[in-house]
Amino acid sequence: MNPSEPRPDAAPLFPLSAVAHQPDLTLALSLLAVSPALGGLLIRGDRGAAKSTSARALAALLPANVEGLPAHGEGAAPFVNLPLGAGEERVVGTLDLDAALRGEARLKPGLIAQAHGGVLYIDEVNLLPDHLVDVLLDAAAMGVHRVERDGLSVTAPARFALVGSMNPEEGSLRPQFLDRFGLCVDVQAPTTPGERAEIVRRRLAFDADPAAFARAWAGAEADLYARLDAARGRLAQVTVPDALLIRIADHAAAAGVRSLRADLVLYRAACALAALEGRVSVTAADVDRAAPLVLTHRRAPHAPDLPPPPPPEPPQPPADPPTDAPDGEAPPEAGDEPPHTPGAPDGGDHLPPAADPPGEVFAPVPAHVALPLPGAGRGTGNAGRPRVTGSHPDANPARLALPDSLRAALIRAGLSGGSGEGPALTRADLRAPILAPQEGRRVLFVADASGSVGASGRMGALKGALLDALGGPGHPDRAALITFRGVGATLLLDWTADAHAGARAVEGAPTGGRTPLTQALRLARATLDGARGAQLVLFTDGRANVPTQPGADPWAEALGAARALRGVPALVVDTESGRVRLGRAAQLARAMGADLAPLHLPDHHPDPSLETP
């Protein structure tokens, strides 16, 4: 292929070498061009940040001589754009009805088969049905596409570069799908006026005369193609020193990644980068450079931002750290504030639990809280009829897949040379639908464990309500727990279906210190971004008193963080007690667009703050 000589029947594409001021994006696409086995690239960012333009340009840099690729002409690596409304038959292929009527059992290829040897691009991949995302990621990772439907069983090569793009503001991918994308890049339009002007200048030149623009960049594009082609030929020779496996594992551990897929993809990405740089041995610099592309979308919400800095000496805490005062007592002096941890995101949204005072552990007291009902707010796409993903033979189906049953009858009649009359439907033709499993209900619990809740004697009731919600009627299929106290918020329990693990986390949660409410709400936002359709239950009295920045108003910050959660189905449980109440939980609920409920203590556990001394 010579990219300087575009095919006359194809409209010129914006060259990848001409994409300006997106170095991470062009690097990730180059790595994917060298090694499609990386498993695909997810591009997250605002509209107008060159996501689709760059993906289209990648196809022009891929080789055309791929096994199993139809002869499309010189330099004809295909670019397939998957429409958002495409169904399973369009994506994986289906029975060729014309051939069936002639008595031939033949598969009509889908978009996966058409993308072999090229690029399969999915815009708004976060809005694609989960079962289709699963099929596409499987094919991209294995390089083979298997179709078993309509009485057919077909296996075909499917080596393509999978590129998905999404705007995070419109929803996230589920964590298991995020993990299966090999690479990820967060892109945004530059803010520097000079860089923005250069991007606009190039785009205007391309729109005015695409052919002339392509000719002007033909030399740079040919150099990039030659570099990628040489790297593909060199990739099999690249070796990784055994000592670098520890460095790879260190990167994954620092990002809080549990899946070993991240280590394997980082290994392959470092190999592709070394090949791209003209070397046959991977260096530590290759691993460090590739790590953000591999770990950005996999990192735990509480992990430090990537790329991780060199490990510095941790600051030594004071010999006698001050004890946080509960609400109502004098705050500590300015000089006694706990030291700021540089690695904490957003000014300290998450600090290690070890930085908090030890706290007191309260035993749960029986209490009840009604969880928010599913169906309100965003991401509740589980309602309605179950989604049909295929069919299977069933002589006595409880539910009939009529189109597939008719197809089976047509195939049987055609292959047996039946008469010209319509084929008779027999029990052997009957098909039952395969229904996609219904997504489980997810609830993120965020619990105020500060000294104000403990001093009021209501922490036991808060724990009792949490345990009731975790294991009572209508309990979630998966739950996560964030607690906040002292100097930060902690994801105490990641998403789990283990009710016993949730109970252990709740029962052992300590209490004491100040109320870092803003940090908890921001950590909740980050945790919910990876869990489509999850609900939020917040237990708090709203008495925020830990700013994220020096001199900031903690309550104003908390309201801002609450507004960022609007649209999430949520319930705020007011844990405030005493005769004088600020009513801040109600204000938080209004800012979040959430329901509000009080935390009721059982009759035999009256509110201690209301007792007469």
Cα 255 from Cα 525, distance rounded (Å):
18
What's the pLDDT score for residue 178? 81
Residue 567: its pLDDT value, please?
A: 86
Amino acid in the structure at residue 169: E
Q: Using an 8 Å Cβ cutoff, are 41 and 164 in contact?
A: yes
- Claim: this prediction has a pTM higher than 0.85: no
What pLDDT is stored for residue 229 in this prediction?
A: 92
Q: Please answer whether residues 357 and 512 qualify as being in contact, where contact means their C-beta atoms are separated by less than 8 angstroms.
A: yes
Q: Judge whether 103 and 417 are in contact, CB under 8 Å.
A: yes
Strand, coil or helix: 526: helix
Give, in order, the Cα–Cα distances in Å from 142 to each of 58, 135, 145, 152, 290.
21, 11, 8, 20, 22
Series of mean pLDDT values for 10-residue runs along the chain (613 residues): 49 87 92 89 82 86 63 63 79 74 73 87 83 82 76 78 80 74 89 91 93 92 93 94 94 88 94 95 95 88 51 43 43 39 38 45 51 42 57 78 78 63 73 68 83 60 62 60 86 74 70 87 87 83 88 91 90 80 89 85 47 44
How far the first Cα of the chain sits from its last, in Å, is 88
Catalytic residue positions? 261
Q: How far apart are CA 322 and CA 333, in angstroms?
A: 10
Per-residue pLDDT at 172: 67
Burial label for 163, CB within 10 Å (0-12, 13-18, 19+), is buried
Query: What pLDDT is stored for residue 150 in this prediction?
Result: 60
473 vs 492: CA distance, rounded Å: 23
**pLDDT at residue number 503:** 67
Write the pLDDT tens digit of every residue in 162-218: 898 887 766 667 777 788 889 999 888 888 999 999 999 999 999 999 999 999 999
E strands in 543-592? 570-574
CB 80 within 8 A of CB 120: yes
What is the phi-psi region of residue 108: left when phi exceeds 0, alpha when psi lies from -120 to 50, beta otherwise? beta
What pLDDT is stored for residue 558 in this prediction? 93
Q: Which of 187, 55, 28 is nearest to 119 (CA)?
A: 55
For 522, phi and psi rounded to 5 degrees? -70, -40
The predicted pLDDT at position 273 comes to 96
* Rg (the chain; Cα; Å): 29
